């Protein structure tokens, strides 16, 4: 799902070549409007050791989410 988004994949390629470890977006909604895409992208970044921060709510995306079940 997230891996077919050309912009997201371009960002990952750029990050891989320049050592960036933190991405700051204006809002979480600006990263991805669809919640499933947002979660999938966030988990992909985490797996790659990249921190995602939403400027309007800096702690929101930094919290570790616990499974519902």
Residue 19 has pLDDT above 60, yes or no: yes
Find the mean pLDDT for residues 24-50: 87
Per-residue confidence (pLDDT) for residue 21, from 0 to 100: 92
Which runs of consecutive H residues, i.e. helices, occur in 1-69? 6-18, 28-31, 35-47
What are the C-alpha distances in Å from 66 to residues 9, 31, 44, 61, 63? Answer: 27, 21, 16, 13, 9
Give the CA distances from residue 15 to residues 12, 37, 66, in Å, rounded to whole numbers and listed in that order. 5, 19, 27
Structure tokens at 50: 């990249």
Residue 13 has pLDDT above 60, yes or no: yes
Give the closest residue to 15 by CA, choosing from 58, 53, 48, 64: 48
Q: How confident is the model at residue 67 (pLDDT cuts 50, 70, 90)?
A: very low
């Amino acid at each position: 799902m997230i891996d077919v988004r050309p912009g997201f994949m371009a960002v990952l390629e750029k990050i891989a070549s320049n050592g960036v470890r933190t991405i700051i977006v204006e809002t979480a909604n600006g990263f991805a409007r669809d919640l499933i895409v947002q979660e999938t992208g966030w988990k992909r970044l985490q797996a790659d050791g990249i921190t995602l921060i939403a400027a309007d709510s800096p702690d929101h995306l930094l919290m570790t989410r616990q499974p519902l079940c």
